[in-house]
Amino acid sequence: MKQCIKSSQKPARLATAGRSALICKAVSAPPSTKLKAGVVHGQDLVDLMQHAQKNGYAIPAVNCTSSSIINACMESAKEVNSPIMIQFSNGGGASMAGKGISNKDEQATIAGSIAGALHVRAMAKYYGVPVVLHTDHCHKKLLPWFDGLMTANEEYFAKNNEPLFSSHMLDLSEEPIHENLDICKKYLTRMNKMGLMLEMELGVTGGEEDGVDNSGVAAEELYSKPEEICEVWEALTPIAPKGFSVAAAFGNVHGVYSPGNVKLTPSILGNAQKYIKAKHSGSDDKPVFFVFHGGSGSSREEIREAISYGVVKMNIDTDTQWAYWDGVREYEAKNRGYLQGQIGNPEGPEKPNKKYYDPRAWTRKGEQALVARMKAAYEDLNCVNVL
């Protein structure tokens, strides 16, 4: 369900570089679409991923560090009538726990991620859209964090017949591919019993995020090979068909970049889909759910091209961080005279300022700015009014 139009317009964002290209205009999905609202897992999550591929859109996944940001993300999804992915990085989990807690043995990151998930669980149903509850990059050294979350999922599953989260990511791209796959297979076997989806990373996403710096990585490591992607598909499909996604590298990088400074090759993804279909004589044109990491600096055309090759999820972090801060910054600039003390402002020396410095006032401005930024992201991802 997508329309394609010839356009040389500059995209609304993530970047403003434009080339005359065939781009896809967001249109509504069929009115009969029956996707579950609230936190999804298992077959409901697979249905959502397949719906995204079929209808030519990707779902934004936002790294969240507070309940305020979580709520703003779900608010944006409600306003555009589309799904949302709420995810926590290891550092985001620590932030949810509070910096006053020791993180010995990953106890703060585990507790904070669980707390964030429980908040999403409590609130998601009120926003009326599908919500995917996810954790981001887990490198080998962070496996104790992953293990703690797996225990939490199993305990939640025993009581509720569903896992606490929808999915988790293992990022073992720095390890040899055989080790990467062995560990992924081990965890996916455990996860599949609860209907948890696994996201795995293949190749390296450049740049820096959450304390992991890949800015000096060799250029060839930024591009996955179809044979490698097929190897992942062959290893994980017998365990959980459609129960995993692949964050393959096609030149994408984390961080802040001006348009034109990121050299993406989305066709790598399309070539991999064709390779797998041909090798296994399959009928599915898009056997792999792909994930797009490091989207800052990418043009709308590049994003839409990646989606056309089977990308169903795109991570957003840097731009939403700035948007939230920018909303707060603008509020402070506008009301500076009322924010210099509890009493005394341009209206008089005895005038109170409580309504200006109340955190609910300025955090709301951050939320509203984030919602506005997310609406632009939804447009880029062809994900407006898809429910």
Which residues are catalytically annotated? 136
Residue 111 neighbours by CB under 8 Å, 6+ apart: 93, 97, 101
Could you tell me if residue 276 is left (phi over 0), alpha (psi between -120 and 50 degrees) or otherwise beta? Answer: alpha
Question: What is the distance between the alpha carbons of residues 241 and 224, in angstroms, rounded to a whole number?
Answer: 21
| DSSP string for residues in 64-128 | --SHHHHHHHHHHHHHHT--EEEEE-HHHHHHHH-TTS--GGGHHHHHHHHHHHHHHHHHGGGTT
Count CA atoms closer than 13 A to 113's CA, side-chain side.
33
Question: What is the distance between the alpha carbons of residues 109 and 88, in angstroms, rounded to a whole number?
Answer: 9
Task: Please report, for residues 17, 291, 371, the alpha-carbon distance to residue 330 in angstroms, rounded to integers and kept in the order given.
Answer: 26, 33, 15
- Residues forming beta bridges with residue 368, ordered by sequence position: none
Measured in degrees and rounded to the nearest 5, phi and psi for residue 311 equal -70, 130
Length of the chain in terms of residues written: 387
Question: What is the distance between the alpha carbons of residues 293 and 195, in angstroms, rounded to a whole number?
Answer: 24
Please name which of 203, 211, 210, 208 lies closest in space to residue 232, comparing C-alpha atoms. 203
Q: How far is CA 41 from the centre of its chain?
A: 16
Question: What is the distance between the alpha carbons of residues 289 and 269, in angstroms, rounded to a whole number?
Answer: 10
Cis before 14 (ω within 30): yes
Task: Please report, for residues 63, 239, 315, 376, the alpha-carbon distance to residue 299 in angstroms, rounded to integers and kept in the order given.
Answer: 21, 36, 15, 12
Please name which of 71, 136, 147 lies closest in space to residue 110, comparing C-alpha atoms. 147
